[in-house]
Structure 1
Amino acid sequence: MAPVTEQAEDAAIIERSLRQPECFAELFDRYYAPIHGYAERRLPRPLADDIAAETFLVAFDRRGTYDLSRPDARPWLYGIASNLISRHHRAEIRQYRALARTDAGETSEDHADRVADSLDALATRGRLAAALAELPAADRDVLLLVAWAELTSEEAGKALGVPAGTVRSRLHRARTKIRAALGTALTRKDR
């Protein structure tokens, strides 16, 4: 039986790519799908395609400045993606507002339970999108890096270049505003 080999640490791949640029493809293969998924949740698909590709172009160009003491490149890559997304702030806000206006009656499922579940999900999605559109960009970036990219507060801080304490403050503020918006919407709906 062949021994199980561990995946190379991201920092080792980046370091090796300084001598052998083609090695960077391993990092691309490892993280393109999650980075694209994160971008697509925040922007329309054509922009998400561009952001994901540009994230790796920027990372490749800046690989010489990567802190090799950090074995995991995910926070660095998500930070690059978040910065690129922030350039498309208006498109992101338009997408959230469009989701907020989504008519829950547009669902065309056959089974009553699935229809009810879909309607509930659409209604919640709309309120959530509206609340996300109202958040300050810095708070929204932190919330989405933690919720959608599944980064820790420390990793989100590294991604955005801010202390973990700042991330926790922004995260708390964002979660409070989202809960208030969803709670208010639920209260209004029940009246």
Structure 2
Amino acid sequence: MTAQVHRDEMRQDDDRAIIERSRRDPEAFAELYDRHAPAIHRYLARRLGRDLADDLLAETFLQAFGKRHRYDLDRADALPWLYGFATRLVGRHRRGEARFWRAVARTGADPAAGSADEGVADRVAAQSSRRDLAGALARLNRGQRDVLLLIASGDLTPAEIGAALGIATGTVHSRLSRARARMREALGGIDPLDFREVQFHG
């Protein structure tokens, strides 16, 4: 089952119906926020830390609200569309993102991940993995990092990522291939997507 099929099955009313309704009744857009804000916030926090994520979450949905009349109603799932706004906002904070990943690489402490319930041994192992992963992520160019983190954090398909970023699916595949190759080299042959539970979904 694909991620999109699963997401669609979880909903009584698909996103396009909400967006279409919001064109007549702007308050209906709040339902889209309630549905997708947690996923978008996690993604932003993964890339910039929680403090900036709070601000950019609001801006993501404000921009989406302003563009709702342009939404392609052939698309039942608006999550890739929302990730597109969020990713473009991250792009305005490239230096902040690089600092964030370097800080994680230095300390192993990711402010966007971890839990008080996590045991000491688990935290130490996770911090070691995060250092390696964060250092490698900091060395990717923005396009490669966007695609890799949308695949890992957003659980999106290459076609959905292409739609979110306004690039061809072939470009997504090419960037992902280069990103994974660079990451495997930096991580001693380990595929970066094997770190999802440690870093991307923590």
Query: What is the number of equivalent residue pairs in this alignment?
Result: 172
Kindly provide the CA deviation profile for residues 124-164 of structure 1, in whole angstroms up to 9, marking residues without a partner as x: 11111011111010000000000011111111111101111
SS at match of 1:118: helix
Deviation at 1:92, TM superposition (A): 0.6
Question: Which residue is 1:107 aligned to?
Answer: none
The equivalent position to 1:59 in structure 2, one of 64, 71, 82, is 64
Superposed counterparts of 1:12-51, under 5 Å = 12-51=17-56
Which runs of 5 or more structure 2 residues have no equivalent in the other structure?
A: 1-9, 110-118, 191-202
Question: Which residue is 1:120 aligned to?
Answer: 125
> Could you tell me the TM-score, scaled by structure 1's length?
0.85
* Amino acid in structure 2 at the alignment position of 1:154: A
Measure, in 2, the Cα distance between the counterparts of 1:153 and 1:87: 23
- In structure 2, the CA distance between the partners of 1:19 and 1:93, relative to structure 1 (3 Å rule), is same
- In structure 2, the CA distance between the partners of 1:64 and 1:176, relative to structure 1 (3 Å rule), is same
Would you say the 8 A contact 2:108–2:130 is kept in 1?
Answer: no
Deviation at 1:119, TM superposition (A): 2.5
* CA RMSD after TM alignment: 1.8
Instruction: Please identify the structure whose Cα radius of gyration is greater.
Output: 1
Measure, in 1, the Cα distance between the counterparts of 2:108 and 2:88: 31
The equivalent position to 1:172 in structure 2, one of 168, 173, 177, is 177
SS at match of 1:183: coil
Query: How much identity, in percent, do the aligned residues show?
Result: 57
> Could you tell me the TM-score, scaled by structure 2's length?
0.81
Moved segments of 4+, more than 2 Å: 114-120
* Amino acid in structure 2 at the alignment position of 1:12: A
Measure, in 1, the Cα distance between the counterparts of 2:22 and 2:121: 51
Deviation at 1:9, TM superposition (A): 1.2
- In structure 2, the CA distance between the partners of 1:103 and 1:67, relative to structure 1 (3 Å rule), is closer
Would you say the 8 A contact 2:108–2:129 is kept in 1?
Answer: no
SS at match of 1:69: coil
